[in-house]
Amino acid sequence: MSDVFDQVKAIIVDVLKVDENELDMDTRFIEDLKADSMDQFFLIDGFSEKFDLQIPDESARQIKSIGDAVNYIEQNLN
């Protein structure tokens, strides 16, 4: 897996206190990890800080899974 995936996973483990072995690209924040809106805010904030990205609200609403987060970050890093 990619370095971005590993870093995203680390943020999710830190924020949601879940087992990293349960996480893959298809894992959904709400349905699979039971994240609420505050959790989602902290995840997006963590991604923004870690990767030095501005993630607009509209884009943040589209990030529903680990794969969505990884793809968004990889596309917007450069």
Kindly report, residue by residue over 3-29, the tens digit of the pLDDT.
999 999 999 999 999 999 999 999 999
H helices of 1-78, in order, are 3-16, 37-51, 57-62, 66-76
What residues contact residue 39 under an 8 Å CB cut-off, 6+ apart?
15, 16, 29, 33
Backbone angles phi, psi at 58, to 5 degrees: -60, -40
38-57 pLDDT per residue, tens:
999 999 999 999 999 999 99
**Mean pLDDT, rounded, of the chain:** 95
> What pLDDT is recorded for position 78?
67
Question: Quick check: is 39 catalytic?
Answer: no
pTM across the whole model: 0.93
Q: What is the CATH number of domain 3-76?
A: 1.10.1200.10
> What pLDDT is recorded for position 72?
97
For residue 18, the cross-strand partners are none
- Boundaries of every domain in the chain: 3-76
From the list 3, 19, 26, 36, the catalytic residue is 36
